[in-house]
Copies of this chain bind each other. A is one copy, B any other.
Amino acid sequence: MTAYTDLMTFQRETEALAQVSGRLEWDQETVMPRGAAPQRAEEIGALEAVLHARRTDPRIGDWLDAAEGAETDEVARANLRRIRHAYTRTQRVPARLAAELARVTSVSQGIWAEARAAEDFAAFAPTLEQIVALTRDKAAALADGGAPYDALLDDYEPGATADSLTAMFGALRPRLVALRDRIMGAERRSPALSGDFPEAAQMALTREMAQAFGYDMTRGRIDKAVHPFSSGGGADVRITTRTSATDPFNCLYSTIHEVGHAAYEQGIDPVHALTPLGQGVSMGVHESQSRIYENQLGRSRAFTSHIFARMTDTFGPLSVDSPEAFYAAVNRVHPGFIRTESDEVQYNLHVLLRFDLERRLIDGSLPVADLPEAWNTRFEADFGVAVDRPSNGCLQDVHWSVGLFGYFPTYTLGNVYAGCLHAALRRDLPDLDTRLAAGDPGPATGWLRDKLQRHGALRPPRATIAHATGEEPSEGPLLDYLEAKFGEIYGV
């Protein structure tokens, strides 16, 4: 046995236990009896304590020291890089700080939810101040002399920096604002789909679409949950969805989105199963898969013509009565305050706002008390509408209430990466629209599996995209795609 095989044996058990943790989360959100919640918290706490002890086990350091010089194979080196990275970070956060953050964030989500329901930012502010202060301490500990915000980002997007994202997002924002303004000022309006859509039929159609997009039901399942999510890895990747009787797109596109996440996990070469490479490499790359499935493929003119036909088969005549009107309805750009209800054009503006504000919360230049005003001012500048109440403004997202700072920008990074991947796969698959119109995204999902998904976390995030596309990722393809698509739909 070498140090590397010892380390990987130990790591494999840790990964298996992490999968168990994922299974508990799935259970909690789908099938757990409600009275089990307090006991479940203890079960998860005990398992997390086991995982923490394994992740900080000093033997990992010894094995790494012995193995890093000895291994030359690309896969071994990538595994060692991922393990070293995680081990170094876990070592840096003092146990007392981690415990205090866990303690505060175990109750803060409830406080946030109450404050949001009461439209009372002041009721949440002291809690958010605590979280921001603890997160700043954590960031400083993780940064070890480097940039604190970058150290937070690194949890979700290893290698990304605030500076590089600021440059990318700085190029996105004016063209998105301008596109949004042109659409809002356009004479042409998109219709909204209306009607009543039985839930069972929606679920049947959503299963059909999930399988069309390559979701392997022998290694996964679809259930309903309050918030759609994808969970687990390897041979057990489950997704959830939700239904709205009046809005079938909610179920359909949240499913296709989650299938994108799940396809990444299911598509990884089994040789990487239960190793550090056997999972998506970053939140941004993960989101690129969910977004390209949902938007560039699922909301394409070609594929929506197939959905139109299948929805007409399923529900009878629709309120939008042609494939072209249906395509416009699917891609309708509408004013709104809520990020999660937003469209492809405005979504990134929501994210950019949060990215800019959370950096200032972390660097201390924006006191928590001033957050609502800063939010509302920025929102009006980018969206042209005044925020009417906190639940439509800075209280709308759960993220900060549970200490997620550095997470928001990965949403837009995912869209940027999706733009790059889409441009490349269109070059490689000139006849894709014919297949999409026939209800078959297979050539595109096969391309993504081959170029990206199967490699798991073998390469760092940007290198993963560059390997797939043959180019360094940039915001250009996403902007070109959005301007072309929505310019045509709205005639602007």
Q: Knowing A16-B46, A46-B17, A47-B20 touch, does A33 contact B219 (C-beta < 8 A)?
A: yes
* In contact, B16 and A23 (Cβ under 8 angstroms): no
Within 8 A of B (CB), among A11-53: 12-14, 16-17, 19-20, 23-24, 27, 31-40, 42-43, 45-47, 49-50
Please state the number of chain copies in the assembly: 2
**Interface check A2, CB cutoff 8 A:** no
Pick the residue among B23, B33, B43 that contacts A221 (CB under 8 A): B33
**Interface check A236, CB cutoff 8 A:** yes
Q: Which 3 A-B pairs have the closest CB atoms?
A: A36-B236, A16-B46, A35-B218
In the bound complex, how far is the Cα of B43 from the Cα of A50, in angstroms? 14
Pick the residue among B36, B37, B50, B236 that contacts A40 (CB under 8 A): B236
Which residue of chain B has the shortest Cβ distance to A14 in the bound complex? B46
**Interface check A214, CB cutoff 8 A:** no
CB of A354 to closest CB in B, whole Å: 35
Given contacts A23-B23, A34-B218, A42-B274, 11 further A-B contacts (CB under 8 A): A12-B42, A16-B45, A19-B39, A19-B43, A20-B24, A23-B27, A27-B27, A33-B217, A33-B236, A39-B236, A40-B236
**Interface check A157, CB cutoff 8 A:** no
In the bound complex, how far is the Cα of B51 from the Cα of A46, in angstroms? 11
CB of A212 to closest CB in B, whole Å: 18
CB of A17 to closest CB in B, whole Å: 5
* In contact, B38 and A23 (Cβ under 8 angstroms): no
In the bound complex, how far is the Cα of B37 from the Cα of A234, in angstroms? 11
**Interface check A216, CB cutoff 8 A:** yes
Could you list which residues of chain A lie within 8 angstroms of chain B, going by C-beta atoms?
12-14, 16-17, 19-20, 23-24, 27, 31-40, 42-43, 45-47, 49-50, 216-221, 234-236, 238, 273-274
* In contact, A274 and B17 (Cβ under 8 angstroms): no
Determine the chain B residues whose CB is within 8 A of the CB of A38 once the complex forms.
235
* In contact, A35 and B235 (Cβ under 8 angstroms): yes
Determine the chain B residues whose CB is within 8 A of the CB of A221 once the complex forms.
31, 33
Pick the residue among B16, B20, B216, B238 that contacts A20 (CB under 8 A): B20
CB of A258 to closest CB in B, whole Å: 15
* In contact, B43 and A235 (Cβ under 8 angstroms): no
Q: List 28 A-B contacts (CB under 8 A).
A: A16-B39, A16-B42, A16-B43, A16-B45, A16-B47, A17-B43, A17-B50, A19-B43, A20-B20, A20-B43, A20-B47, A23-B23, A23-B24, A23-B43, A27-B27, A32-B236, A33-B220, A33-B221, A33-B236, A34-B218, A35-B218, A35-B235, A36-B235, A36-B236, A38-B235, A39-B273, A39-B274, A40-B235
Determine the chain B residues whose CB is within 8 A of the CB of A39 once the complex forms.
16, 19, 234-236, 273-274
CB of A268 to closest CB in B, whole Å: 12
